[in-house]
């Protein structure tokens, strides 16, 4: 193993209420007991914030095996602000110091994908056990996610993660795009979400995680926003397909309230953290574009809210129309009952033939009225027969139209002498 500690920290955007009393352990079915230890965010300088740390090393190493990689430790830190940070400490057989940055990035991506594929069912079981034991209460997931369902309660795309390399005097250069950012004496930005730390790789894991807290908190905020954006996009797709399953305005509103509450709770880190940690936090925000993500999420979620309100209004209007038809039908039934009673009373002295003729006629009229009221307007429109073709115009009308459209003859001037047609003079002499 080389003198480089490789740490991956994922941020799972969960919205919950942290417990007042931390249980000693959590029983995970099929994986044994996981010890829970209360702790604090060590990078805060003014107001301490409690958290609960779960040691998942034994659970993970029993199920996950990476060739050429040793899993030194795995910790899950349950924050008060609706985020769970899962950190892996790894050591590689390969010499990471000799690798360029792009090879480090490719190696980190392969390890991350392998770990995610292997630990997804384990972490889902740990989450369900944490809810069952009371470690996490009032859990609010995205409206399209269900705890304990066939699908994972967390959308993999919403889980952002940081890559850290801890070694003394890191040999890698800073990314030139972020060369002007001030990151503090120990932190160096290699790529977006990728950091090098000038520290002893043999430090206790708790101290290493405390050193990385500023960048991990910024990524936790990013995960919260991305999870909300993905949920909003899913709802827009369902609304476009006119699928009523995801059009629950109250559930989405509750989800958004928890998202923004947890996001701004984490945002107080810029005020409560120490000076050196705060510098790294502000640099990480700019590196991952957190402010731009917040602006785009605010616009999209506002549009989703307006679309949900419009869809809800449309459904309410359709419901009102159906209720109005039902009320009209009830009125027709009540009136028909009165008319039938009156008819039977008046025809009581009449013959059987008259009663048989009148009463069914009234019942038929009532049935036609009920069908006209209850049947939706669109169904009545489609049920109508096609209109017959227009009749051909009459010959007189055609001749009249032609005379109107004909060009009138030219009128001669008043002083012009009219020439009589040939033979007109002979005719006049004969008449004389």
The pLDDT-based confidence of 388 (bands split at 50, 70, 90) is very low
CA distances from 86 to 161, 203, 409 (A): 9, 19, 98
What is the layout of strands, in order, in the sheet containing 160-167?
25-28, 32-40, 50-55, 69-79, 83-92, 5-13, 160-167, 194-198, 187-191
pLDDT tens sequence across 244-297: 555 566 777 788 888 899 999 999 998 999 888 999 999 999 999 999 999 999
- 266-275 confidence digits (pLDDT tens): 999 989 998 8
At 91 the three-state DSSP class reads strand
Look at residue 359 and tell me whether its pLDDT is greater than 70: no
Instruction: Copy the structure tokens of residue 396.
Output: 């007189």
Q: What is the mean pLDDT of residues 354-361?
A: 63
Enter the pTM of the model.
0.73
Q: What is the SS3 string spanning 108-177?
A: HHHHHHHHHHHHHHHHHHHHHHHHHHCCCEEEECCCCCCCCCCCCCCCHHHCEEEEEEEECCCCCCCCHH
Short-list 183, 212, 193, CA closest to 89: 212
pLDDT band at residue 337, thresholds of 50, 70 and 90?
Answer: low
Tokens of 220: 């936790």
Identify the pLDDT of residue 415.
47
Residue 141 has a pLDDT of: 76
Q: Which stretch, 162-166, 169-173, 276-280, has highest mean pLDDT? A: 162-166
pLDDT tens, 215-253? 999 999 999 999 889 888 888 887 777 765 555 667 777
Strands 160-167 and 194-198: parallel
Confidence category of residue 154, pLDDT binned at 50, 70, 90: confident
User: DSSP readout, 63-76?
Assistant: H---TTEEEEEEEE
Has residue 409 got a pLDDT over 70?
Answer: no
Please give the backbone phi and psi of residue 164, each rounded to the nearest 5 degrees, phi first: -125, 140
pLDDT on residue 122: 92
Q: Report strand pairing: 25-28 vs 32-40.
A: antiparallel
User: In the numeric block, which tokens belong to residue 363?
Assistant: 């019942």
Q: Is 31 within 8 Å of 105 (Cβ atoms)?
A: no
Dist. CA 265–CA 258, nearest whole Å: 10
> DSSP secondary structure string, 322-385?
HHHHHHHHHHHHHHHHHHHHHHHHHGGGS-HHHHHHHHHHHHHHHHHHHHHHHS-HHHHHHHSP
- Residues above pLDDT 90, as percent of the chain: 36
pLDDT digit string, tens, across residues 79-131: 988 789 999 999 999 999 999 999 999 999 999 999 999 999 899 899 889 88
CA–CA distance, 369 with 329 (Å, rounded to integer): 8
So what's the pLDDT on residue 414? 46
Nearest to 236 by CA among 225, 227, 247, 226: 247
* pLDDT score at 351: 62
Strand 187-191 versus strand 5-13 pairing type: unpaired
Q: Would you state the pLDDT for residue 139?
A: 81
Query: Three-state SS for 241?
Result: coil
Mean pLDDT of 341-369: 63
3-state SS, residue 10? strand
Query: How confident is the model over 63-91, as a mean pLDDT?
Result: 92
pLDDT score recorded for residue 333: 66
| Mean model confidence pLDDT for the chain | 79
Residue of 193, 192, 196, 194 lying closest to 172 (CA atoms): 196
pLDDT digits (tens, 9 = 90+) for 390-402: 455 555 655 565 5
Under 8 Å between Cβ of 138 and 47? no
- Residue 401 pLDDT: 58
pLDDT category of residue 308 using cuts at 50, 70 and 90: confident
In whole angstroms, give the CA distance from residue 121 to residue 150.
11
**Which residues of 168-273 form beta strands (DSSP E)?**
187-191, 194-198
Where residue 420 falls among pLDDT bands split at 50, 70, 90? Answer: very low
pLDDT for residue 404? 56
In this structure, the number of other CB atoms found within 10 A of the CB of residue 94 comes to: 14
- More confident site: 45 or 223: 223
pLDDT at 27 over 50: yes
Residue 399 or residue 421, greater confidence: 399
Tell me if residue 53 falls in helix, strand or coil.
Answer: strand
Confidence of residue 428 (pLDDT cuts 50, 70, 90): very low
């Amino acid at each position: 193993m080389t003198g480089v500690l490789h740490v991956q920290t994922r941020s799972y955007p969960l919205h919950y209420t942290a417990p007042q009393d931390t249980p000693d352990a959590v029983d995970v079915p099929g994986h044994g007991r996981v010890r829970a230890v209360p702790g604090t965010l060590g990078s805060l300088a003014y107001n301490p914030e409690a958290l609960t740390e779960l040691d998942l090393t034994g659970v993970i190493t029993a199920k996950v095996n990476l060739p050429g990689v040793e899993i030194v430790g795995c910790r899950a830190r349950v924050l008060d602000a609706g985020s769970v940070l899962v950190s892996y400490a790894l050591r590689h057989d390969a010499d990471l110091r000799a690798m360029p940055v792009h090879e480090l990035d490719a190696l980190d991506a392969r390890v991350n994908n392998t770990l995610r594929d292997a630990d997804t069912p384990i972490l889902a079981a740990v989450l369900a056990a944490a809810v069952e034991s009371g470690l996490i209460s009032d859990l609010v997931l995205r409206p399209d996610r269900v705890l304990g369902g066939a699908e994972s309660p967390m959308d993999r795309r919403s889980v952002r993660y940081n890559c850290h390399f801890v070694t003394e005097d890191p040999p890698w250069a800073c990314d030139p795009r972020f060369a002007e950012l001030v990151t503090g004496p120990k932190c160096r930005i290699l790529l977006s979400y990728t950091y090098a730390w000038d520290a002893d790789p043999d430090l206790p894991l708790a101290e290493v995680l405390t050193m990385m807290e500023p960048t991990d908190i910024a990524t936790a905020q990013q995960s919260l926003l991305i999870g909300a954006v993905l949920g909003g996009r899913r709802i827009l797709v369902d609304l476009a397909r006119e699928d009523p399953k995801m059009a629950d305005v109250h559930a989405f509103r509750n989800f958004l309230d928890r998202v923004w509450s947890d996001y701004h709770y984490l945002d107080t880190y810029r005020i409560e953290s120490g000076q050196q940690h705060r510098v790294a936090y502000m640099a990480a925000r700019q590196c991952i574009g957190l402010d731009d993500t917040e602006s785009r999420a605010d616009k999209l979620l506002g549009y989703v809210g307006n679309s949900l309100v419009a869809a809800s209004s449309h459904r309410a209007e359709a419901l009102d129309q159906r209720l109005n038809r039902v009320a009209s039908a009830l009125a027709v039934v009540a009136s028909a009952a009165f008319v039938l009673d009156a008819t039977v009373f008046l025809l009581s002295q009449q013959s059987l033939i008259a009663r048989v003729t009148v009463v069914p006629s009234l019942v038929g009229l009532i049935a036609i009225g009920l069908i006209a009221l209850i049947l939706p307007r669109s169904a009545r429109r489609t049920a109508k027969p096609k209109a017959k073709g227009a009749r051909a115009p009459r010959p007189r009308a055609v001749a009249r139209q032609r005379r109107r459209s004909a060009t009138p003859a030219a009128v001669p001037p008043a002083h012009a002498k009219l020439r009589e047609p040939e033979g007109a003079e002979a005719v006049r002499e004969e008449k004389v």
